[in-house]
Amino acid sequence: MPYITTPSPTQPTELFYEEVGQGRPVVFIHGWPLSSAMWEYQMGAVAEAGFRAIAYDRRGFGRSDHPSAGYDYDTFADDLNSVLEELNLRNVTLVGFSMGGGEVSRFMSRHGADRIASVVFASAVTPYLLKGGTNPDGVDGGVFKEMKDKLRDDRPAFLDAFGKQFFGQGMLSHPVSKATLDASLIVAMQASKKGTLDCVDAFSKTDFRQDITSIRVPTLIIHGDSDKVVPVESSGRRLANEIPGAVYNEYDGAPHALVITHKEDFNRDLIAFLRGDVHPPV
């Protein structure tokens, strides 16, 4: 299986990646608590459209190493940079889902846009998720504390319940099959417990407002108005206002996992953006 080793003087980490297709590279960055497996419906579609699709597992998740440290966005951004450098990728589109949007933002401020052609934020946690004095529209910190408490107490039970919220599953709403819910739980349980816990702090407490000021490449933002995990009012709509020229698509009735529940819409919009057929508002 293909791996990239991230440089580190103390604990080098191997990151699993997969790729398909040829052409201009598109790098997919997954959300919490899953792995690159979540991009199943995008990898083939993007490759068939004439692009090189690449997805990797974040440290601590999926088939990548599960180190004891490094679950912060500076390290995540450096890991992403290692992927781009090792594969010698240029003219790249970065696609960040949920906490993966944080990698996109921190990478752009930390490593610059020399290798980057454009960026995509899908259901992303940016610009800043935690509610506070300078961020009154964020999410209350008690929500994240409760998440960590439940993960410590019974991780499988929490992830099972979280999966239903992730996909917008309810008494009257069944956007995905039980098989998809079960498969996602299996993927989530492959992650290290420490990585799963530490990433709750990372995506909830990291302020990306300064990072996104460095984004000066074409940007597509997609969010669902029924996202109960990362509320659109705290994220997608705010992000669209803070990145000049960004294209913003809000999906009616879409939950957090819109890359799966609304995969046809998402793939259509993503491929159109990759082809340059989507233009910023005038």
**Residues assigned a catalytic role:** 98, 227, 256
Tokens of 172: 């009257």
Cβ atoms within 10 Å, residue 209: 15
Alpha-helical segments (H) within 87-140: 100-111
b/e per residue, 162-197, with b = 16+ CB within 10 A? bbeebbbbeeeeebbeeebbeebbebbebbbeebbb
Amino acid at 72: D
User: Phi and psi (nearest 5°) for 134?
Assistant: -95, 5
Helix (H) or strand (E) holding 222: strand 219-224
Beta-bridge partner residues of 139? 130
Radius of gyration for the alpha carbons in the chain, expressed in angstroms and rounded:
17
Query: Residue 20, class by beta-carbon neighbours within 10 Å (0-12 exposed, 13-18 middle, 19+ buried)?
Result: middle
